[in-house]
Amino acid sequence: MLQFIASSHFNLSGLILCPLLGSIILFVIPDSRIQLIRSIGLCTSLITFLYSLFFWIEFDNSTAKFQFVESIQWLPYSNINFYIGIDGISLFFVVLTTFLIPICILVGWSSIKSYKKEYMIAFLICESLMIAVSCMLDLLLFYVFFESVLIPMFIIIGIWGSRQRKIQAAYQFFLYTLLGSVFMLLAILFIFFQTGTTDLRVLLTTEFSERRQILLWIAFFASFSVKVPMVPVHIWLPEAHVEAPTAGSVILAGIPLKLGTYGFLRFSIPMFPEATFFFIPFICTLSVIAIIYTSLTTVRQIDLKKMIAYSSVAHMNFVTIGMFSLNIQGIEGSILLMLSHGLVSSALFLCVGALYERHKTRLVKYYGGLVSTMPIFCTIFLFFTLANMSLPGSSSFVGEFLILVGAFQRNSLVATLAALGMILGAAYSLWLYNRVVFGNFKPNFLTKFSDLNRREVLIFLPLIVGVIWMGVYPEVFLECMHTSVSNLVQHGKFD
Amino acid sequence: MFDHDFLALFPEILLINATIILLIYGVVFSTSERYDYPPLACNVGWLGLPSISITISLVATGAPVANLFYNNLIIDDFTYFCQIFLLLSTASTILMCLDYFKQESLNAFEFIVLILPSICSMLFMISAYDLIAMYLAIELQSLCFYVIAAFKRDSEFSTEAGLKYFILGAFSSGILLFGCSMIYGFTGVTNFEELAKIFTGYEITLFGAQSSGIFMGILFIAVGFLFKITAVPFHMWAPDVYEGSPTLVTAFFSIAPKIAILANMLRVFIYSFYDPTWQQLFFFCSIASMILGALAAMAQNKVKRLLAYSSIGHVGYLPIGFSCGTIEGIQSLLIAISIYVSMTINVFVVVLALRKNRFKYVADLGALAKTNPILAITLSITTFSYAGIPPLAGFCSKFYLFFAALGCGAYSLAFTGIVTSVISCFYYIRFVKIMYFDTPETWIIYKPMDREKSLLLAITLFFIISFFLYPSPLFLVTHEMALSLCL
C-alpha cells in the first residue's frame, strides 16, 4: 500500500514545490497571527521531510541510474531542461536538507523577535532551493539553484544575525561565494557552447580534451573550493557562522557547505576524470594544509562558534581527501562524513545557540562550571563533542575511518597527515568542553540557571538518534550509495 | 501607392493627431477663465494613455512586411516587436507619473504632450531605413527630450540638467550627422539597403586607399550613437542629467530612448555596415562601461546618480551581444534590453513611490523594511535581479549575453562582464543592507503609493521572479526579431 502510494503519487518536483507552496501560503497570512504562521511553517517542513523519506524507501539500490527522473522543457532551441532525478549520491543530501529544516524552524520558535513571518519564509524558500540543487541534473540549472541559495542565506545572516559585524559577514559570504561561482558559470557556458547541451546524461559521456578538462576543472574548482571551503578561501566561513543566527549556522553547516563537495562528486570527478587525476596532489596538499592549519587555529579561538566553524573546515577537508582518493571506500566515507558532519556540527551549533540565548555571550572565558546548573545540556554537549572528534560508535568515526582507509590506498603520507587532524580534533574538542562545562562556575557573568527546556531537548533528539544509528549501523546508508559510487569509480577508470 | 503607405503608418498618424488634439485641449482649457484655470496634467495624462494603447493595438494588428516612402522606412518583424515593446514601456512610464503631477501640483500638461511626439519619433527611429530618415527621427526625439529635461523651471538642477543635455545631445547629433555625410560623400547613397549592398564583402581598413573616408564615417556614426546610449567614454552627461531632471523624466530617459536607439543601432550596424571594423570600438566601449559602471556606482550616495551609473554599467553589457554580430548575440541583446527595461520600470516606480521630503539619498531607505515591508521586498528582489543573481530575470539576461560572447570567441568580454557583475553586486546589495540590516536614527514615513504604481510594480515584479520558470516566449520572440533583422 505504502509502496503503491509512493510510486504513483510522489515525484521530485512535488518535493521541491512543497516548501515553496508553504511559503506562499505564509505570505498571505498577516503578521499578527504568529502562532498560525509558526505551525504552518513547521507542518510544511515536516510534511516535506516525510515526503522525502518516501524517496528513500522507494529507492532502488541495485541501479546506478538516476531515479525519479523528470524532465520539463525550459529553453527552446537549446537543450536546457529542468532535468531532475536522484541517485545514491544525492539521495541523502535531499533527506538531510529536509531533516534539518524543521529543526531550524523549531530553533527559532521563540528566540526570533523580529520579522517572524519572513524567518519562516526564508527558511522554506531556502529549503526548496537546496532540494532543487541536490536533484538537478542539468549543469546550468544546477548553477542557478546553487547560486540562488545565496539570497536567502544573505538575508538570514544579515537580518537575524546577532551583532553589528553581521553585515560584514553577510557581505563576505555573498561576495566570496559569488566571485567563486561566476567562474563556474563561464565554464558551464563554455561547455554549453562546445557540446550544445548542459544535460548531465550527455556530458558524462562527452570526452573533453585533456587541456580543456584542466581549464574547466579549475573553473569549477574556483566555485566549489569556496563552498567547501579549501584553505585560501575559507575566511568567509568563520565570519558567516559566527554572525549567523543559530538556525542559520545549522543550515549553513548542514547544506551549503556540502554543496561544494557534492559538486566535486557530481560534476568535477565524473566529467573531467583526467583532470581530476592530474589534480589529486594539489587537492591533497590543500586539504592536508587545511586540516592541520584549521585544527591548530581552532585551538586558539576564544569564540565558541568560531571553534565549531573552524572544526567544520577541518572536517570538510577530510571529506575532500576521501573524495579524491577515488576509490569506493574513500568516496563512500566522504559522503558519510558529510552526512555525519551535517548532523554533528549542526547539533554543536544548536548547543552554542542554546548557551547564547541564555547568557548572551559566546566567549569561552565567561563560561565555566555549567555542569552544576545545566546537567542535561552538558550531557548532550558531551555527546556531540565526542561525535565531533569521531569517537568510535558515532557517525563521524565510520566516515573518517573509511576515508583514511581509502586515502591509505592512494597515498599513505596524505593519510598519515590527515590522521593528525583526528588527534588535533580531540585536542580542541576536549579543551572546549572542559572550559565550558567543568571548572568553577562564574556567577558574576552567568546569571541564568535554566537548563534546556522540553522543546530544545526535542530538537536534539533526532540528531542524537541519527548520529548513533549511522555510527552503529551504517549499512543502511552505505547500501543505497554503493552502486552509484562504484559506477562513478568505474566510469572514471580510476582503479 | 500612397494609400498603402499611409495605411502602414496608421499608428504614427494616430499619435500625431492625438498630440495635436491633446495640445489644443490643454492650451484652451488650462487658460480658460470659466473653469478657473485648471491644472490639466493629470487629465492630459489619462487621455494620453488610451491614445498610446490604441497605437499599440494598431501596431499589433497591422504587421505587413513593407518598405514605405521610397524605401525610407521599413516595417518587418523586428520593428513590429520593438515598437510594441517601446509603446508598452512608455505607457507604463506615463502610468507611473500620473500621481506625480498631483503630488507635486505641477501644472505642466506639456510634459505628456511632449512625450507623445517623442514616442512617435522613436517609432520612426525604429523603422528608419535611411540615414536621413534616421537622423530626422533622432533629432525630433532629442528636441522633445531637451525640453522635458528642463521642464521644472523653478528648480536649478532641472535647468542645469536640461542645458547639459541639450549641449551634449546637440554635439552628439552633430557628430552623427557628420558621420552620415561622410558615408554619403564616399558612397553616394544613404539608403540602408543600398549601403548593405556596397558594404557586402567590402574590407574597410583604416589605411585602405579609398575607404578611409568610409571608416571615418562609420566611426563618427558609432560615436554619435554611443553618446546617445551613454556608453562610457561618452557618458559624462548621464549622471548629471539623471540626477538633475525630475524623477519621472529620469525614468522616461532611462527606459524609452534606450530601446529605440538600440533598435536603430542594430539596424545600422548589423544590417548595413556588417563588418568587423566597428566591433572593436564596441568591444572597447563595452568593457569600459562595465568597469566604470561597477566602480563609479560604488561611491554614490544619491539614488538617482547611483541608478545612472548602474544604467551605464548595464548599457555596457548590451554591446556584448552587439559586438558579436551573431544571431545569438542579437537575440541576447534583445532579451537583455527587455529585461533591463522591466527592472528599470520597477525600480523607478519604487523611487517615485517614496516621495516624502524628497527621497534623495540611498540612506533614506533605512527602516523601509519596517515601515513598508512589501516595498522593501520588492526593491530587494529587483536589486538582486539587477545584480544578476539567479534565479531572477536579470540573471537570465546576463547568462545569455555571456553565452553569446563565448559563442563568438569574445572571451575577454565575458570575463570582464562576469567580474564586473560581481563587483556591482557590492552596491546593489547595499540597498538590502540599508533596508533590512541597518537601524537608522530617523524613520522616514512615506506616503502609500497609488493604484497605478502598485499595479505596475506587481506586474514587473512578477515578471522578474517568474521569468525564470517560463522563458520560452521571450526567447522565441527575440529569436524571430533577430532572424528578421539578419536575413
Residue B2 reports pLDDT greater than 60: no
- Check B426 against A158: CB less than 8 A apart: no
pLDDT of residue B208: 53
Q: Using an 8 Å CB-CB cutoff, list residues of chain A that contact chain B.
A: 73-77, 115, 118, 140, 143-145, 147-148, 150-151, 154-155, 158-159, 166-167, 170-171, 174-175, 178-179, 182-183, 185-186, 189-190, 192-193
C-beta separation of A400 from A419 below 8 A: no
Residue B252 lies in a domain: no
Can you tell me the distance from the alpha carbon of B111 to that of B43, in angstroms, rounded to the nearest whole number? 12
Give SS3 for B76.
coil
**B414 vs A contacts (CB less than 8 Å):** 186, 189
C-beta separation of A172 from A235 below 8 A: yes
Can you tell me the distance from the alpha carbon of A350 to that of A346, in angstroms, rounded to the nearest whole number? 6
- In terms of phi and psi (left: phi > 0; alpha: psi -120 to 50; beta: otherwise), the region of A70 is beta
pLDDT of residue B201: 67
Can you tell me the distance from the alpha carbon of B423 to that of B416, in angstroms, rounded to the nearest whole number? 10
Residue A126 reports pLDDT greater than 90: no
Give SS3 for A239.
helix
Residue B86 lies in a domain: no
pLDDT of residue B173: 93
Residue B315 lies in a domain: yes
Residue B459 lies in a domain: yes
Residue B39 lies in a domain: no
Can you tell me the distance from the alpha carbon of A239 to that of A157, in angstroms, rounded to the nearest whole number? 10
Instruction: Report the largest interatomic distance among the alpha carbons of chain A, rounded to a whole angstrom.
Output: 70
**A186 vs B contacts (CB less than 8 Å):** 402, 406, 414-415, 418
* Residues linked to residue A75 through DSSP beta bridges, in sequence order: A80
Taking residues B442-448, what's their average pLDDT? 75
pLDDT of residue B88: 93
- Check A170 against B479: CB less than 8 A apart: no
pLDDT of residue A469: 92
Strands (E), A27-153: 67-75, 80-86
pLDDT of residue B85: 92
**Short-list B140, B179, B386, B403, CA closest to B281:** B179
Can you tell me the distance from the alpha carbon of A138 to that of A131, in angstroms, rounded to the nearest whole number? 14
Provide the residue type at A359 as one letter.
H
Provide the residue type at A484 as one letter.
S
Grid coordinates standing for B93? Answer: 512610464
Can you tell me the distance from the alpha carbon of B191 to that of B234, in angstroms, rounded to the nearest whole number? 27
Range of the domain at B306: 275-486
Residue B287 lies in a domain: yes
C-beta separation of B133 from B50 below 8 A: no
Burial profile B106-117: b = 16 or more Cβ within 10 angstroms, e = fewer: bebbbbbbbbbb
Grid coordinates standing for B305? Answer: 546618480
Residue A422 reports pLDDT greater than 70: yes
Q: Searching chain A, which residue's CA lies closest to the CA of residue B413?
A: A186
pLDDT of residue A10: 66
Grid coordinates standing for A406? Answer: 581509502
- Check A148 against B389: CB less than 8 A apart: yes
* Residues linked to residue B191 through DSSP beta bridges, in sequence order: B130
* Residues linked to residue A136 through DSSP beta bridges, in sequence order: A84
Can you tell me the distance from the alpha carbon of B232 to that of B439, in angstroms, rounded to the nearest whole number? 36
Residue A492 reports pLDDT greater than 90: no
Q: What is the mean pLDDT of chain B?
A: 85
B275 DSSP 8-state letter = S
pLDDT of residue B3: 64
ipTM: 0.87
Looking at the 3D structure of chain B, how many domains does it have? 1
Grid coordinates standing for A315? Answer: 572536517
pLDDT of residue B1: 52
Residue B454 lies in a domain: yes
Residue B378 lies in a domain: yes
Residue B376 reports pLDDT greater than 70: yes
Grid coordinates standing for A22? Answer: 508553504
pLDDT of residue B486: 77
Roughly how many angstroms between the first and final C-alpha of chain B, as a whole number? Answer: 26
Taking residues A55-75, what's their average pLDDT? 86
* Nearest-CB residue to A75 (from B406, B425, B471): B471
Place B202 in a pLDDT band, splitting at 50, 70 and 90: low
